[in-house]
Structures are given as structure tokens and as C-alpha cells.
Copies of this chain bind each other. A is one copy, B any other.
Amino acid sequence: MHNALPSLPAIRAFEAAARLLSFTKAGSELGMTQAAVSYQIKLLEEKLGFPLFHRNARRIELTDKGKQLSLKVIDAFEALREAFYDVRNENDTLLVVSSNTTFALNWLATRLVHFQLANPDIAIRIVPYGPAARPEFLNSDVSISACYAPPKGWCHHRLVDATFTPMLSPELAETIGGVHSAEDILRLPLIDPGDPWWKIWFDKAGIKDVDLSNRPATRMGSQALEANRAIAGQGAGILTPYFCKHALENGLLVQPIDILASIDDEAWYLSYPPANKKSRKVRLFRDWILTELQKDGVLAEQAQKYNA
């Protein structure tokens, strides 16, 4: 079919020179010297096998073929510029954050407004996702994922360590005369007995090999739901205290036992593809979220360990 294009730097130089009808101006537009433009155009002419410009004393003009070529080439470059302009612009003003549901509901929902006030030029779209989804397929600019490490090669910040402990409504605790030990928990319904966190927590609390009916794990993606059911008194949930802060402070939930469990490397992560490292909106969002968490004193120690 069509042959390969000649050298692209040469085409670019030609485009600018044809448009401006001056090698000097073309050079300055392209951020290079007049000599470089002259050289590139000479190369292109030799490649094509015919001259593109007439060299007059103090001005150049296009040859017939140069004119013919320039019309289309200038159009094509205009289209390219427009394409990149569009995609860059749209990109600068819209930040798409994919976030696992728990974090979106318990954290972003209440604080995002502060980021938006501080950065009125950036519009935000939150894409919540459950535990099954994978960040790399969400077409988002940054992603907040739960528990597991972010995709290979992505820049990531560990945000909040995934600690967990049973939580329940004070009313439910009262039904058994208060919860005073880990054993007491077992006398109550568990909201998601299949959640592996239960086993780990009971283990740490000294109750080995606790027998829990083996329902499918739903994990942190649904922690928000779990919390609501706990508040409603449907049972004890295994939850992360930081994300129940509000309910704890208002007496909707209590944390009966002072034992926190965790799993190495399980945490909430903020992550983004390396390509987004230099993106303004991404940097702003990243820095904002890290600062907020630091203020709360919950920022994971390894937060700063990311590919920068």
C-alpha cells in the first residue's frame, strides 16, 4: 500500500517552514536554529527527489510540488495538534478516581469537598468498585484499592493499614449483658462469618481454630455494608476502626475488645500508572490525600515508598 513516511523531524520542519514561509521563523517556533531547519528540509528534498522551496535572496517560496504537499501536511499537523490539545485539556480538568467502596463511602464522601474547594479547576468523578474489579481496567487516573498490592509496576502509596476488630451496636452487646471477652463475641451472630479476618482476629485473641460456618468471603469491599448492619444490631462485624470513627464517636457502635489484628501488606493503597506520575491533577490529589491522612495520624509508615 502506501510507503513509509520520510523522516518525521524533516516533515515537521517542512510543515512549519511552509506555513511561515521562513526557515528562521520555523526554527524559532520549533525551538531550534535556522540551520537545523535548513538541513532538515534539504534532507527531505533529497529523500523525495525534488525541491520543495525556491530559495530567493531574502525569502523562500514553495515550488509547485512543495505547495501541493504543504496544503495536506499542514492540515494533517493541525489535526494532530488538535487531537493532542483535546485529550490533554480534557485530561487536565477531570480527575477520575476509582475507589473501593469502603473508602469511597467512609472517607472520600465526607472529605472530597475540601479538595474540590481547594482545586476548583479540577472536576472529580468517583468510580466505586467492589472487590472483584481490578484497578487497571477502570480507565481511572488514580485508584484506591483495598487489601492487596496495586498492579505491578504502578506507583503506589500505602495509605491506611488494614487493622480490624469486632464492632457491634451497644444494644446488641447489652442483650448478653455486655461483651467482656473474645468468647462473648461467639455468643452473638456474626455479620459475615466467612470473612477470613474473623479467624485471624480470634487467633490473635487466643481462640485457636474457631469454627465458623463457611460462607463465601465478601471482604473489605463491603465493609460499609457490614458496618450498617452492625449499627442496625444484626450482629457483630469485623471492621477497621478508622473507618467507623464517626459511628464510634456517636455511640452507634462500640469496640468491645481492645485487640487489633492485621495482615502483613494488607492495607488501603493509592496507586496510579507510572504514566500519571507527572500529571498535575494526580500529584495534587495524591498530596492532598496523604496530607489528610497524616493529619489524622493514620498514614501508614511506608506511605512514601512509591516509584517516583
A residues at B contact (CB < 8 Å): 2-6, 8-9, 11-12, 30-31, 42, 45-52, 54-55, 63-65, 68-69, 72-73, 75-77, 79-88, 90-91, 136-137, 139, 141, 273-280, 282
Contact = CB atoms under 8 A, between A and B. Distances in A.
Contact of A275 (B42, B76, B137, B274): B42
B72 A2 contact: no
Contact of A273 (B51, B83, B276, B279): B51
Contacts of A136: 54-55
Contacts of A88: 3, 48-49
Nearest to A55: B136
Given A64-B139, A76-B77, 9 more contacts: A2-B82, A3-B81, A6-B84, A8-B12, A11-B80, A46-B274, A46-B277, A46-B278, A49-B279
A153 to B, nearest CB: 8
B68 A87 contact: yes
A77 B80 CA distance: 9
B81 A141 contact: no
A278 to B, nearest CB: 5
A91 B65 contact: yes
Nearest to A137: B54
6 contacts: A2-B85, A5-B12, A5-B77, A65-B90, A69-B84, A79-B79
Contact of A79 (B31, B49, B72, B280): B72
Contacts of A280: 49
Contacts of A54: 136-137
A47 B275 CA distance: 8
Contacts of A49: 88, 91, 275-280, 282
How many copies of the chain does the oligomer comprise?
2
A8 B11 CA distance: 10
B81 A2 contact: yes
Contacts of A274: 42, 45-46
A69 B85 CA distance: 10
Contact of A80 (B9, B31, B68, B73): B73
B46 A3 contact: no
Nearest to A274: B46
Contacts of A42: 274-275
A298 to B, nearest CB: 29
A139 B63 contact: yes
Given A8-B8, A50-B91, A79-B79, A84 B3 contact: yes
A193 to B, nearest CB: 35
B9 A50 contact: no
A13 to B, nearest CB: 11
Contacts of A75: 79
Q: What are the 8 closest A-B residue pairs judged by CB atoms, nearest first?
A: A49-B279, A45-B275, A72-B83, A8-B8, A76-B79, A2-B81, A51-B275, A51-B273
